[in-house]
Amino acid sequence: MSDVWLKFAQFLGTLNGENVKRESYVRTPEFEAALEAWKETEQEWEVFLKSLPADEQEKAEEMKECLEDFSSAQEKRAYIQGYVDCVQVLYHMGLLKENTQLKWNKYTDTL
């Protein structure tokens, strides 16, 4: 990843974790449904874990944490990709000018 996109990703990553109670924070119906489903399932998960032997409990928790980490990374990537796509759209619409001092990642698709 080029330095520009790395810095961009770091900056946007800080925005992504900011005030989730702000008026402009997006909470889709799919997110709300998934959150409710998890809230309903969380107690069942705890009961299920307790039914397992200790070593299997630990393994199940590790697997759950791995899945949560993966989900978080996917969310962050999608958030940053949305910004990148927005910048590219604005550029191709002629609303942003190219800065020849910046280097684009060789993997960046054009519109």
**Could you tell me what percent of the chain has a pLDDT over 90?**
40
Lowest mean pLDDT among 27-31, 52-56, 96-100, 102-106: 102-106
User: What pTM value is reported for the model?
Assistant: 0.63
DSSP string, the chain: --HHHHHHHHHHHHHHTS-TTSTT----HHHHHHHHHHHHHHHHHHHHHHTS-HHHHHHHHHHHHHHHHHHHHHHHHHHHHHHHHHHHHHHHTTSS---TTS---TTPPP-
pLDDT, tens digit, for every residue of 55-90?
A: 999 999 999 999 999 998 898 888 888 888 988 899
Report residue 6's pLDDT band, with 50, 70 and 90 as the boundaries. confident
Q: What is the mean pLDDT of the chain?
A: 83
